A and B are shown apart, each in its own frame.
Chain A
């Protein structure tokens, strides 16, 4: 049968999670043997779409045609068997084995359970050699760099005769020279009968590498065009943002007060020479996409990760141990609420006082009545939707869980709050309530640092916006009626 012109065709693909529609009637084609880029902001639905393609998630409705035939993988193994391979950010190589062993992992020739030497391994090694001759098959994978491991995985996919290779943000963790090598290999894959679906937020890469590009926004397909027909970054950015309604930023009634936090030359492995000030009552935003350094900065300030540089809080040097930072008056609402922010097996009552047990105990003995009252007050103050404070935190909705994390942090009587992706994965109603809480805290004189990859969130909330890219502050803007949100996305995706 003649191979179809399109290796993949999506028709009305939809994915619902309870009440959230993550992928909404997405339809587009991917031409065979091209590099097809997929772009979109966080929350656009890219990851969900990819998970459906790789069999990690079932679709709710819609069709996918692979090579002209219905494609509905039951699981990831099924997807692989159909020729859809993926290169994830977390690499799927086994460090302890050699390159050759990794290349044949899962496809070994066996005889009654014992491995047999086969000719297949020769072919695979040949492929690897053609991609990157400097990697020796007998080498232990643990000695390879991230970039080299990526190449091993690519070789594996090619050897498995993959039709489609999906790459998810592959350049986030490798150096410039390695990026060039990766690009060379990716372009070469087209002549090896492999179609590459390339996801990246670094728009320059799209122009260098891509044959076509698909833009997604809010779970919908916005446009698919040949890259040659795209006029420039601003067109892509416009498509990515669209007519997103930005709730008007409310200008502050009073200007922020004196400087409370002063950061000079903060560096560590991922951050380079960051310097900025934060004033009393100010809401400062750090906007950046994957790998920009947001979480790293939040954690460094919090004492969770080491750093070099001068940080002064209320004029005194900021301690570098988390418990001392909390005592000094800074708290962190972490990125992952379930694994870092909450104790999911404990109840709301168990979670709320954790960061300031002194307030619910006398001489180290817990006062049960006080504890119960504190929990009830927290539920009322933040409007946590629950019938009782005895509910296990694990059973709350995402929005309510995040509110519990906020109560926890507020209970610590902090002056400055670090919020890492504060409304990720939360429904619109709870989002709005949390924004109100943040604004109220700012009016009360608390300073807030918001680390987020959601553009509307940064634009709605923050007085001052720092744009992060690759661990540096590329630009700083004051919010106001003149703010150009396109500029924000432009800089966050690598533009100047």
Chain B
């Protein structure tokens, strides 16, 4: 991406790693095709590529922050909170004796806006503690993850809000693109990833992200507005979680407080699988995307092999671990 190699001759380290992981992906896919019946069918392949659209959207924010050397573990809780707020906001007001069926009675547009504001708010809280007060990001974001999920639970009394919702609520999450088996959410995911990739590779903002991750002190002394940049990234991550939350709530026509449990870890895993360095300064959203597909292949194969959920989880862990090791090994060998 940035300056690790020219575009014409040598491959940059980031591109090399993305290619390497793509190779790993193909290997795993081939293995899965051998052991799981019908794995290679186009219908299945499309599923593999689109199943994890929500984790990929979350992965964009997580990847950018990881490149600067920071974590965002709040995204799962943020998704839940956003979905719940969106649902609650447009539930009809005061029509039912059941509290969980009463909402704010706002039009859908206002509800979505309110939900996005909430999501951004979580990002703002993160930014305040991490950037202003310099508390380590892993502590802050784990805290906001629990806080936002907690708030979601309060609003839904630990359950969900799925009644007296307007019809329009379920539209965006369940509309298919004309002539395809793909949902609108998938298109949104693709557009966001493409935009993120362009940002990271070709814009000044993207460049600053890498500079901060490569050497934050040198970045400061070079005039990069580090605090402002990090704040913007945390807000962005919040908004992305909000988008995912709204789409998921729409798809299931409910605001569920337990939605997206563990998604923050999945987002982190796909970034690491994709070659993003956990210490910052290196990595690409493209790699993160490849990492997501790898995870998708592994979980699908595990299900296809009719393994029990415990074994599925174990398999996921083993493959992740091996893939990351292989990647470090390949990169070290390359760097000589």
Question: If A339-B217, A365-B202, A366-B203 touch, does A390 touch B225 (CB 8 Å cutoff)?
Answer: no
Interface check A239, CB cutoff 8 A: no
Interface check A346, CB cutoff 8 A: yes
| CB <8 Å contact, A361 and B204 | yes
A312 to B220, CA, bound (A): 22
Partner-binding segment picked from B1-9, B29-37, B163-171, B320-328? B1-9
Question: If A326-B223, A361-B204 touch, does A345 touch B217 (CB 8 Å cutoff)?
Answer: no
A357 to B222, CA, bound (A): 11
| CB <8 Å contact, A364 and B221 | no
| CB <8 Å contact, A345 and B225 | no
Interface check B316, CB cutoff 8 A: no
Interface check B131, CB cutoff 8 A: no
Interface string of A335-354 (1 = CB under 8 A from B): 00001111111110111001
Interface check A160, CB cutoff 8 A: no
Question: If A343-B214, A345-B281 touch, does A357 touch B221 (CB 8 Å cutoff)?
Answer: no
| CB <8 Å contact, A340 and B2 | no
Interface check A185, CB cutoff 8 A: no
Residues from chain A with a CB closer than 8 A to the CB of B7 are 368
Shortest Cβ distance from A326 into B: residue: B223
A342 to B219, CA, bound (A): 9
Question: If A345-B282, A354-B211, A364-B204 touch, does A339 touch B218 (CB 8 Å cutoff)?
Answer: yes
| CB <8 Å contact, A334 and B282 | no
Chain B nearest CB from A335 CB (Å) reads: 10
Interface check A408, CB cutoff 8 A: yes
| CB <8 Å contact, B225 and A357 | no
Interface check B147, CB cutoff 8 A: no
A350 to B208, CA, bound (A): 11
| CB <8 Å contact, B222 and A408 | yes
Interface residues on B, range: 20 to 34
| CB <8 Å contact, B215 and A349 | no
| CB <8 Å contact, A346 and B3 | yes
Residues from chain B with a CB closer than 8 A to the CB of A323 are 223-225
Interface check B183, CB cutoff 8 A: no
Interface check B191, CB cutoff 8 A: no
Interface string of B71-113 (1 = CB under 8 A from A): 0000000000000000000000000000000000000000000
Interface check B132, CB cutoff 8 A: no
Interface check B205, CB cutoff 8 A: yes
Question: If A346-B4, A390-B10 touch, does A355 touch B223 (CB 8 Å cutoff)?
Answer: yes
| CB <8 Å contact, A355 and B207 | no
Q: Which of A415-438 contact B (CB under 8 A)?
A: none
Interface string of B186-223 (1 = CB under 8 A from A): 00000000000000001111011011001101111111
| CB <8 Å contact, B4 and A347 | yes
A302 to B220, CA, bound (A): 11
| CB <8 Å contact, B203 and A354 | no
Question: B202 touches which one: A351, A354, A366 (CB < 8 A)?
Answer: A366
Shortest Cβ distance from B10 into A: residue: A390
| CB <8 Å contact, B221 and A332 | yes
| CB <8 Å contact, B220 and A364 | no
Chain B nearest CB from A363 CB (Å) reads: 9
Question: B221 touches which one: A334, A344, A368 (CB < 8 A)?
Answer: A334
Residues from chain B with a CB closer than 8 A to the CB of A332 are 221
Residues from chain A with a CB closer than 8 A to the CB of B218 are 334, 339-343
Interface check A322, CB cutoff 8 A: yes
| CB <8 Å contact, A345 and B202 | no
Residues from chain B with a CB closer than 8 A to the CB of A366 are 202-204, 207
Residues from chain A with a CB closer than 8 A to the CB of B3 are 346-347, 349-351, 390
Interface check A304, CB cutoff 8 A: yes
A95 to B147, CA, bound (A): 35
- Which one of A346, A361, A368, A392 has the greatest number of beta carbons of chain B within 10 Å? A346
Q: Which of A359-416 contact B (CB under 8 A)?
A: 361, 364-366, 368, 372, 388, 390, 392, 408, 412
Question: A346 touches which one: B203, B214, B221, B224 (CB < 8 A)?
Answer: B214
Question: A322 touches which one: B4, B202, B203, B223 (CB < 8 A)?
Answer: B223
Residues from chain A with a CB closer than 8 A to the CB of B208 are 357
Q: Which of B1-46 contact A (CB under 8 A)?
A: 2-7, 9-10
Shortest Cβ distance from A409 into B: residue: B222
Chain B nearest CB from A8 CB (Å) reads: 39
Residues from chain B with a CB closer than 8 A to the CB of A334 are 218, 221
Interface string of A70-101 (1 = CB under 8 A from B): 00000000000000000000000000000000
A362 to B204, CA, bound (A): 9
| CB <8 Å contact, B214 and A345 | yes
Residues from chain B with a CB closer than 8 A to the CB of A322 are 220-221, 223
Question: B222 touches which one: A349, A354, A372 (CB < 8 A)?
Answer: A354
Shortest Cβ distance from A339 into B: residue: B217
A326 to B224, CA, bound (A): 10
Residues from chain B with a CB closer than 8 A to the CB of A361 are 203-204
Residues from chain B with a CB closer than 8 A to the CB of A392 are 4
| CB <8 Å contact, A357 and B207 | yes
Chain B nearest CB from A331 CB (Å) reads: 9
A304 to B211, CA, bound (A): 18
Residues from chain A with a CB closer than 8 A to the CB of B9 are 390
A364 to B3, CA, bound (A): 17
Shortest Cβ distance from B215 into A: residue: A343
| CB <8 Å contact, A364 and B222 | no
| CB <8 Å contact, B203 and A350 | no
Chain B nearest CB from A420 CB (Å) reads: 10
User: Footprint of B on A, CB under 8 Å?
Assistant: 302, 304, 322-323, 326-327, 332, 334, 339-347, 349-351, 354-355, 357-358, 361, 364-366, 368, 372, 388, 390, 392, 408, 412
Question: What are 9 sample pairs from A and B whose C-beta atoms fall under 8 A apart?
Answer: A339-B218, A343-B215, A344-B215, A345-B4, A346-B4, A365-B202, A390-B3, A390-B5, A412-B223
Rank and list the top 7 A-B pairs by shortest CB-CB distance, nearest first.
Answer: A350-B3, A326-B223, A323-B223, A347-B3, A343-B214, A357-B204, A346-B3
